[in-house]
Structure 1
Amino acid sequence: MDVPATPGTALAALAAHFAAMPPVAALQPTVDAAGDGRLRLRAPLAPNINDKGCAFGGSLVSLMTIAAWGLVFLELAQAGIEADIFVADSRVRYLKPVFEDIVVEAGFDDPSERATLVGTLRRQGRASIRLKSESMLADGGVAASFVGRYVAIVRTTGQHG
Structure 2
Amino acid sequence: MSVDAALQTLRDYCRSMPPVAAMQVDVASYDGERLRLTAPLSVNVNDKGNAFGGSLTSLMTVTGWGLVTLRLQLAGLKAEVYVADSAIRYLAPLHADLEAQAAFAPGESWEMFLQTLKQRGRARIQVEAQVPLPDGGIATTLTGRFVAIVKR
Query: Which ranges in structure 2 are unaligned for 5 or more consecutive residues?
Result: none
CA distance 1:16–1:59, change in 2 (3 Å): same
Distance 2:87 2:37 in 1: 19
Do residues 62 (structure 1) and 58 (structure 2) align?
A: yes
CA distance 1:126–1:66, change in 2 (3 Å): same
Which contiguous aligned blocks of 4+ residues in structure 1 show a shift greater than 6 angstroms? Answer: none
User: Does the CA contact (< 8 Å) of 2:50 and 2:93 recur in 1?
Assistant: yes
Counterpart among 115, 118, 122 of residue 122 in structure 1: 118
Counterpart among 124, 146, 149 of residue 150 in structure 1: 146
**What is the TM-score normalised by the length of structure 2?**
0.97
Do residues 51 (structure 1) and 69 (structure 2) align?
A: no
1:111, CA displacement in angstroms? 4.6
How many equivalent residue pairs? Answer: 152
1:114, CA displacement in angstroms? 2.1
| Residue equivalent to 2:33 | 37
* Aligned residues: CA RMSD: 1.0
1:35, CA displacement in angstroms? 2.3
SS in 1 for 2:144: strand
**What is the TM-score normalised by the length of structure 1?**
0.91
Q: Which moved more, 1:15-24 or 1:33-42?
A: 33-42
